[in-house]
């Protein structure tokens, strides 16, 4: 099976080379035969990578420890679910998983666009195949996941890192990889547009959805990582500005910028060079992020380790990407002239440009802070660390400015806003924000950053509500329906716009959660059995420490009684787990009591079984649940924005006017009756 796997990787490498040659020569000669054959080879790559993935999965499931990768990341007592997901648990397998996902996504993108963008397809195939060839080359010559033991294989495996045996860590890597891999598609279409000279807006429209889907998966991957850090790592927070976290954040920032600036190009024919540059930069950052986490240039608990040969190969590839991409941008500059110039800084275009600049500056700061230790070591010999204080100091004001722009931009008119526009649009959101801020000051909120954040959240929320109300009124007047039906019709008709507003609402809720960090409280205490301690209005009492064993691991669980304002609210069970063969790496099982206003968070870093005493870290995290809820709203908004045209046209055709409203009212009434 290992030989089959290795053969498949080499064969896929050769097929990719054929796909490039056939597509490019077919495009240059105008030969449909060659182009179709090249596209067929592109689909064949997806098939062979599926087989290779099946071979790897089979090896894990059947405990084939002849393969070093399987022996390193699995063992006999590991649950079947984690055996299968160990495929992407290590460096070699993660690279193969990357190629597998890129092959599937690439095949889907080419199939969907085969008729709409026929002139671009040969070059899209060639570029994606080129990226695949690089990763396959890495595997074939350096990091073959199907490498076997030359002599007798061990009888059992080492097992997956216990920290990764968690549902979040199962979903988090595939989400991030889909996000990273997905950004190759916009890059390929962008480069194909540059090479062919078809630089009208059609290539943008082809890739906007792909970028949005990739952005969504990046968001999911980042949020799952935050949840994992919060619930598993057990340090009381969810974002530590770790280099691997930053590697995922960088393309997210530039992709967010692109999703906004593309609207300006579609409407006003501006920012053409900017958009192409953003697409290239986003793709480059996905490769750079992969380089960071796999080469050893950054130190992180998440990193795969150090590999200098890999670092060199990635460096050569990244230089090639930059030279190839910007070479074509420079060559096509005359065709990328804007249709219009910016007429006024008080315009929606200007707000989008400002938004882009803020996101790019944030990305630059994150990149600088992440690479500074490596650069300082290279230049001075001393590795200077950059911690969360640096990032928080710079990112907080940038985040507040971005939040402010989120509220301002939808209120501005295209091209130029008049005084009457501005007064009419801003009066209610600003009034609401001032009222909320005044109330907060009266209630005693004195942390300036959190106070400004709350005020801006109120401003943006009021902006979004105002846009919904005004849009619904316009539609109501145009269609003669009731306000609720008009609102539903408004969202369905203007899915991108109002889906985007819902995404903004999700971002507002996440910022609300971030602002809660300013009011965090924590303490660490040593409690004997029966003793208690108090933090804010919570009291925790040690009821004892118990040991259990499930065959795979031994768990030491603390039993803690919790009361709030003197009233008992139940028990919490912080624990420490010791996995077999990984006893030196115990995992922390955090106990969390969640509420909308705050979480009570318990960690048991140490214990003594003889006298049943425990060391307990108690943390109160205000508003943290809003971060997760905000992400849920973000997903909903993105889903609405991604709805296809046909779904809505079918509903319009079959459903009579007012039926949507009636259905929702009946559904809501039945849910209320059921809850009652």
Binding site for another protein (CB under 8 A): 15, 18, 32-34, 36-37, 39-41, 43-48, 50-51, 54, 58, 61-62, 111, 115-118, 202, 205, 266, 348, 412-416, 418, 421, 424, 470-471, 474, 478, 493-494, 497, 645
Q: Are 344 and 416 in contact (CB under 8 A)?
A: yes
Q: How far is the CB of 57 from another protein (least distance, A)?
A: 8
* Beta bridge pairs of residue 578: 554
User: Closest separation between CB of residue 15 and another protein, Å?
Assistant: 8
581-589's contacts with Cβ under 8 Å and 24+ in sequence apart are 581/75, 581/158, 581/159, 582/159, 582/161, 582/162, 585/161, 585/162, 585/163, 586/162, 587/162, 587/163, 587/232, 588/232, 588/233, 588/234, 589/234, 589/555, 589/557
Residue 189 beta carbon to another protein: minimum distance, rounded to whole angstroms:
14
End-to-end CA distance of the chain: 59
Shortest CB 439 distance to another protein, Å: 30
Q: CA 261, CA 497: separation in Å to the nearest integer?
A: 14
Q: Which is nearer to another protein, 38 or 455 (CB)?
A: 38
For residues 255, 256, 257, 263, the Cα torsion angle rounded to the nearest 10 degrees is: 100
Provide the minimum distance between the beta carbon of 115 and another protein in the complex, in angstroms, as a whole number. Answer: 4
Task: State the Cα–Cα distance between residues 124 and 189, nearest whole angstrom.
Answer: 6
**Shorter beta-carbon distance to another protein: residue 53 or 625:** 53
Closest by CA to 395, choosing from 556, 517, 553, 291, is 517
User: What's the min distance (Å) between Cβ of 604 and another protein?
Assistant: 39
Closer Cβ to another protein, 381 or 656, answer by number: 656
Q: Are 159 and 78 in contact (CB under 8 A)?
A: yes
CB of 382 to another protein, least distance (A): 52
Find out whether 211 and 258 touch, Cβ atoms under 8 Å. yes
Q: How far apart are CA 173 and CA 89, in angstroms?
A: 9
Q: Is the dihedral of CA 552, 553, 554, 556 positive or negative?
A: negative
Nearer to another protein, 266 or 307 (CB): 266
Residue 494: CB minimum distance to another protein, A: 6
Cα angle at 365 between 362 and 371, to 5 degrees? 140
Task: Provide, rounded to whole angstroms, the least separation between the CB of residue 480 and another protein.
Answer: 12
Distance from C-alpha of 620 to C-alpha of 536, rounded to nearest angstrom: 8
Closer CB to another protein, 469 or 606, in the complex: 469
Nearer to another protein, 373 or 410 (CB): 410
Largest interatomic CA distance in the chain: 84
Closest approach, Cβ 363 to another protein, in A, equals 29
Pick 470 or 528: Cβ nearer another protein: 470
535 within 8 A of 577, measured Cβ to Cβ: no
Pick 503 or 600: Cβ nearer another protein: 503
Closest distance between another protein and the C-beta of residue 479, in Å?
11
3-state secondary structure 63-95: CCCCEHHHHHHCCCCCCHHHHHHHHHCCHHHHH
| 54/662 with CB nearer another protein | 54
Residue spans of alpha helices (H) in 332-387: 348-380
Q: What is the 3-state secondary structure of 557-584?
A: EEEEEEEECCEEEEEECCEEEEECCCCC
Q: Which residue, among 402, 273, 422, 266, has the nearest Cα to 344 in the 3D structure?
A: 422
| Cα-based distances in Å from 166 to 160, 415, 553 | 11, 51, 14
Q: Which is nearer to another protein, 249 or 490 (CB)?
A: 490
**Residue 351 or 600 having the CB closest to another protein:** 351
The answer to whether 266 touches 348, Cβ cutoff 8 Å, is: no
Min separation Cβ 342 and another protein, Å: 14
Closer of 346 and 535 to another protein (Cβ) = 346
Neighbours of 640 (CB within 10 A): 19
């Amino acid at each position: 099976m290992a030989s089959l796997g290795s053969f498949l990787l080499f064969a896929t490498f050769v097929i990719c080379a054929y796909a490039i040659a056939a597509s490019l020569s077919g495009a240059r000669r105008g030969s449909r035969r060659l182009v179709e054959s090249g596209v067929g080879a592109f689909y064949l790559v997806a098939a062979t990578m599926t087989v290779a993935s099946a071979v790897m999965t089979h090896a894990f499931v059947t405990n084939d420890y002849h393969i070093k990768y399987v022996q390193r990341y699995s063992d006999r007592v590991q649950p079947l679910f984690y055996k299968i997901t160990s495929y992407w648990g290590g460096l070699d397998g993660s690279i193969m998983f990357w190629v597998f996902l890129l092959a599937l996504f690439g095949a889907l993108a080419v199939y969907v666009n085969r008729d709409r963008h026929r002139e671009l397809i040969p070059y899209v195939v060639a570029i994606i195949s080129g990226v695949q060839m690089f990763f396959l080359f890495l595997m074939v010559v350096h990091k073959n996941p199907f490498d076997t033991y030359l002599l007798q294989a061990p009888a059992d495996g080492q097992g997956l890192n216990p920290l990764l045996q968690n549902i979040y860590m199962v979903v988090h890597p595939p989400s991030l990889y889909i996000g990273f891999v997905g950004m190759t598609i916009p890059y390929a279409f962008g480069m194909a547009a540059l090479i062919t000279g078809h630089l009208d807006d059609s290539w943008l429209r082809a890739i906007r959805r792909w970028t949005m889907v990739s952005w969504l998966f990046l968001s999911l991957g980042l949020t799952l990582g935050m949840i994992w850090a919060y619930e598993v790592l057990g340090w009381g927070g969810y974002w530590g500005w770790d280099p691997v976290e930053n590697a995922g954040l960088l393309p997210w920032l530039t992709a967010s910028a692109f999703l906004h600036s593309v609207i300006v190009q579609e409407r006003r024919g501006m920012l053409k060079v900017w958009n192409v540059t953003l697409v290239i930069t986003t793709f480059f950052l996905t490769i750079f992020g992969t380089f960071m986490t796999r080469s050893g240039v950054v130190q992180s608990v998440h990193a795969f380790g150090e590999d200098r040969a890999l670092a060199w190969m990635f460096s050569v590839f990244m230089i090639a990407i930059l030279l190839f991409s910007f070479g074509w941008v420079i060559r096509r500059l005359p065709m990328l002239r804007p249709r219009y110039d910016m007429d006024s800084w008080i315009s929606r275009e200007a707000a989008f440009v400002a938004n882009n600049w803020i996101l790019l500056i944030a990305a630059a700061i994150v990149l600088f802070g992440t690479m500074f230790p490596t650069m300082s070591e290279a230049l001075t010999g001393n590795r200077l660390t950059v911690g969360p204080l640096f990032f928080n100091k710079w990112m907080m004001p940038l985040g507040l400015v971005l939040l402010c722009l989120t509220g301002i931009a939808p209120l501005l008119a295209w091209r130029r806003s008049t005084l009457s526009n501005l007064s009419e649009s801003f009066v209610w959101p600003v009034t609401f924000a001032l009222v909320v801020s005044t109330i907060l000051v009266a209630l005693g909120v004195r942390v300036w950053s959190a106070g400004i954040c709350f005020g801006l959240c109120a401003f943006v929320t009021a902006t979004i509500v105002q846009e919904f109300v005004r849009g619904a009124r316009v539609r109501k007047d145009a269609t003669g329906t009731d306000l609720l039906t008009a609102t539903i019709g408004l969202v369905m008709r203007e899915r991108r716009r109002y889906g985007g507003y819902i995404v903004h609402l999700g971002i507002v809720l996440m910022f609300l959660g971030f602002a809660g960090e300013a009011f965090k409280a924590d303490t660490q205490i040593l409690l004997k059995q029966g003793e208690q301690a108090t933090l804010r209005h919570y009291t925790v009492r040690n009821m004892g420490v118990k040991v259990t064993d499930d065959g795979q691991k031994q768990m030491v669980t603390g039993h803690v009684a919790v009361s709030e304002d003197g009233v008992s609210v139940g028990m919490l069970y912080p624990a420490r787990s010791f996995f077999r063969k990984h006893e030196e790496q115990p995992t922390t099982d955090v106990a969390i009591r969640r509420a909308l206003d705050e979480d009570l968070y318990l960690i048991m870093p140490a214990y003594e079984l003889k006298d049943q005493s425990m060391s307990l870290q108690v943390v109160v995290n205000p508003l943290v649940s809003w971060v997760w809820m905000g992400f849920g709203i973000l997903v909903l908004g993105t889903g609405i924005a991604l709805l296809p045209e046909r779904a809505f046209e079918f509903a319009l055709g079959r459903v009579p006017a007012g039926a949507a409203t009636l259905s929702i009212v009946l559904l809501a009434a039945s849910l209320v009756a059921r809850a009652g």
